[in-house]
Chain A
């Protein structure tokens, strides 16, 4: 065994000092170095565009009009005064509430049916959640192919069902377009409600149901007094998530109706897309986006507060 002299294992006094300095520097700043790429990325991709869009709100930023003159609140006024913007907003609210309500009811029914084990449950569950994994654009296109006359089979199948020819314009006439949109959206997103609610149901302590059974409480009362209160936080969560997603409804509209007939199925997102990326009135679209963001923020705040209250309780 080799014996090391103290001079071999101890650093010289000067070297130790500088090493400590480096170490101290690293301790103090290395963390900033590590998060710098992420911070730069966020600044470049989120903060800068956000600030840029703030500026665009107040200038003319239209591809066909040269220059970027300051226009004050003109862009906001254009959106507010555009009847199409308000009708798109109303439709967004109505459609969102409708689809989320239907998806909730269906999702809850499915979750209640699937919470107990039975033979083939795994396969049925896999089939039920499958629409979740399909891109909304594909969902929209698939429903368009199914519903669109004269080659889509929907009218033919309905005709076979009712015993006489059916000629419904699912993508060209009110109210059928709304029904088509709701069907497509519900088909895709009911599984989302189902999965979340099923997880909530599975987490309810079994002893509560056993106690209810011992007390001779009926099924409906058990549902009202045990299942629903226990599930409430999860229901709020599911409704919040789904509602936030539903107000962005775009893909299915884009593929299925193109906003038509006329502008009957323009949602807020579709309206902004048309104005911004098809007509290139970027400043108007930006102002519209901000208005939409502010309105949506109010809804988000109410829902989040509700969520926090439920959690605290």
Chain B
């Protein structure tokens, strides 16, 4: 029989498999094998593995319902340390404190309703942190899976309905002002003072430390370092023929692009030389895909663009705006055919198949490029990487990669179990737990703690994992963050519409003017004075602009 976890993985994998199969990027054999499994599983006892029983360290806590790796592996070691930190201490650790405080709820038979993005994001609390928390505290958990846009809209709808449906919300940092102003989430400062170890707060990379602050209050615990970085094919960039051809054509050495203009030039050169086998780049620029807004906003700021002037008039229709769109058009032209129809997963598929030489994307790119992620059956629908030992990591051209979205665990207003919900948030993001959750092969949670960047266990996951972590840290030092202001949803929607209109043939300047008008309308609707104040607050956040990054304010962390 399949156990509960295997059924969940199987079902999640099956639907993804069907999608992949329909897209034509997985084998029919795999798909049919899964269908066979579904039919035959009931007759095949002993499928899969059970984690309990062989873990000596787990004897103190019954972890039979928790998905655990072999204790001799780096992940198994990290999991053992997380359980120990939760159940034995150190006593001053945030994980231990949260678990101890949560014992008060043990006999109360309460259930925490946790929103997570549907699919792989939700597997982690279902397989690991949820069951472990339940085992440690007796507090039940219920993972509510929502598509990404609904992670914003559903809590609002439930708040308006005053349903108390959720306890802990998974939200983007940029949603904090809107949700805080709307009363959907609660500040957690009092709980932090009461329960959290301040050293654990300092363990965040400085970029993520202030990202949950708004109007002087803390609105959640940061929990997903969605830092964009450049991933490139070392074999392509080390190719001697390409090097000499590039030198002959441009009179300079062939190497990683340092500016966005160079990026287009290098991508186009690679496409001209190697297509249709390899194209210069691939981007996720499909309608509704956040790739458009993230690409535009990071480049716009790298080009010196500012969002608003002193009167809060939108500043998109400027040289920086036109330059950015022109650069993006050049990137599209230099990329794999169908570039503008790709979403993030399709971009990854093209990359893993070895069809492109450079992509910039979220940190899971590093894990799936090395085939580390695909070892878990929950994610093995993703094609195996054909470039596992050929991938290099770098900061983005221009230096300022977007900290693109990320997740904050926030306390839902109207929660019937406010304190217990907070304790879960503190525990799940505490250093030992955070490390494990960013190490799980199928996870989409990405490193954000200094202790994770330095973790020997993480660095042992694949040969280049150390370089990967160092690069993520470096990228965060110069990162720009999303526009953390009320109205972000509306401003971002305008950017997406603008970009897709341009990909569809509209003149960039005209598209910029329309987007500017939409931004002005949004600002007017929310109130110019209120937005001005919010913008001033945003300007204080390190990463608001290229001249105000963590590096520029002198807080950079360089690890080795």
Where the two chains meet, the residues of A that have a C-beta atom closer than 8 Å to any C-beta of B are: 62-66, 142, 145, 148-153, 167, 169, 171-174, 177, 257-264, 274, 277-281
Return the 6 tightest CB-CB contacts between A and B, nearest first: A262-B501, A149-B338, A261-B504, A150-B338, A260-B287, A258-B287
Across the interface, A171 reaches (CB within 8 A) one of B336, B341, B501, namely B341
Tell me if B490 and A279 are in contact (CB < 8 A): yes
Tell me if B336 and A278 are in contact (CB < 8 A): no
Across the interface, B23 reaches (CB within 8 A) one of A151, A177, A278, namely A151
Let me know if B505 is at the binding interface, CB within 8 A: yes
Tell me if B493 and A274 are in contact (CB < 8 A): yes
Tell me if B493 and A279 are in contact (CB < 8 A): yes
Given contacts A261-B287, A261-B500, 18 further A-B pairs with CB under 8 A are: A62-B525, A63-B156, A64-B181, A64-B526, A148-B338, A150-B341, A150-B342, A150-B350, A167-B338, A169-B504, A172-B503, A259-B497, A262-B498, A262-B500, A262-B506, A274-B493, A277-B153, A279-B493
- Chain B residues numbered 250-290 whose CB sits less than 8 Å from any CB in chain A: 286-288
CA distance in complex: A26, B486 (Å): 60
CA distance in complex: A173, B287 (Å): 11
CA distance in complex: A142, B19 (Å): 10
CA distance in complex: A264, B287 (Å): 11
Name the B residues within 8 Å of A278 (CB-CB).
149, 153, 489, 493
Tell me if A149 and B497 are in contact (CB < 8 A): no
Chain A's closest residue to B511 (CB) is A262
Chain B's closest residue to A266 (CB) is B497
Tell me if B287 and A169 are in contact (CB < 8 A): no
Across the interface, A261 reaches (CB within 8 A) one of B487, B503, B527, namely B503
- How near does chain A come to B153, taking the closest CB pair, in angstroms? 6
CA distance in complex: A148, B284 (Å): 13
Name the A residues within 8 Å of B182 (CB-CB).
63-64
- How near does chain A come to B262, taking the closest CB pair, in angstroms? 25
CA distance in complex: A152, B19 (Å): 12
Across the interface, A260 reaches (CB within 8 A) one of B160, B337, B349, B500, namely B500
Tell me if B504 and A63 are in contact (CB < 8 A): no
- How near does chain A come to B381, taking the closest CB pair, in angstroms? 14
Let me know if B86 is at the binding interface, CB within 8 A: no
- How near does chain B come to A167, taking the closest CB pair, in angstroms? 6
Tell me if B504 and A174 are in contact (CB < 8 A): yes
Subset of 8 A-B contacts with CB under 8 Å: A63-B182, A64-B182, A65-B526, A145-B19, A150-B341, A172-B500, A174-B505, A258-B288
CA distance in complex: A195, B342 (Å): 38
Name the B residues within 8 Å of A62 (CB-CB).
525
- Count of B residues near A, CB < 8 Å? 45
Chain B's closest residue to A61 (CB) is B160
Name the B residues within 8 Å of A152 (CB-CB).
23
Name the A residues within 8 Å of B25 (CB-CB).
151
- How near does chain B come to A258, taking the closest CB pair, in angstroms? 4
Tell me if B525 and A151 are in contact (CB < 8 A): no
- How near does chain A come to B240, taking the closest CB pair, in angstroms? 30
- How near does chain B come to A176, taking the closest CB pair, in angstroms? 9
Tell me if A259 and B287 are in contact (CB < 8 A): yes
Let me know if B42 is at the binding interface, CB within 8 A: no
Among A151, A153, A173, A262, max chain B CB count under 10 A is at A262
Let me know if B346 is at the binding interface, CB within 8 A: yes
Let me know if B56 is at the binding interface, CB within 8 A: no
Name the A residues within 8 Å of B216 (CB-CB).
none
Chain A's closest residue to B182 (CB) is A63
Tell me if A169 and B498 are in contact (CB < 8 A): no
Across the interface, A64 reaches (CB within 8 A) one of B336, B341, B487, namely B487
Name the A residues within 8 Å of B505 (CB-CB).
173-174, 261
Name the A residues within 8 Å of B493 (CB-CB).
274, 278-279
CA distance in complex: A149, B288 (Å): 16
**Given A63-B160, A172-B340, A281-B525, also A153-B24 (CB < 8 A):** yes
CA distance in complex: A277, B149 (Å): 10
Name the A residues within 8 Å of B44 (CB-CB).
none
**Given A63-B178, A64-B181, also A260-B504 (CB < 8 A):** yes
CA distance in complex: A288, B505 (Å): 29
Chain B's closest residue to A254 (CB) is B288
Across the interface, B501 reaches (CB within 8 A) one of A145, A153, A261, namely A261
- Chain B residues numbered 315-351 whose CB sits less than 8 Å from any CB in chain A: 336-338, 340-342, 346, 349-350
Tell me if A260 and B497 are in contact (CB < 8 A): yes
Tell me if B525 and A172 are in contact (CB < 8 A): no
Tell me if B288 and A172 are in contact (CB < 8 A): no
Tell me if B287 and A171 are in contact (CB < 8 A): yes
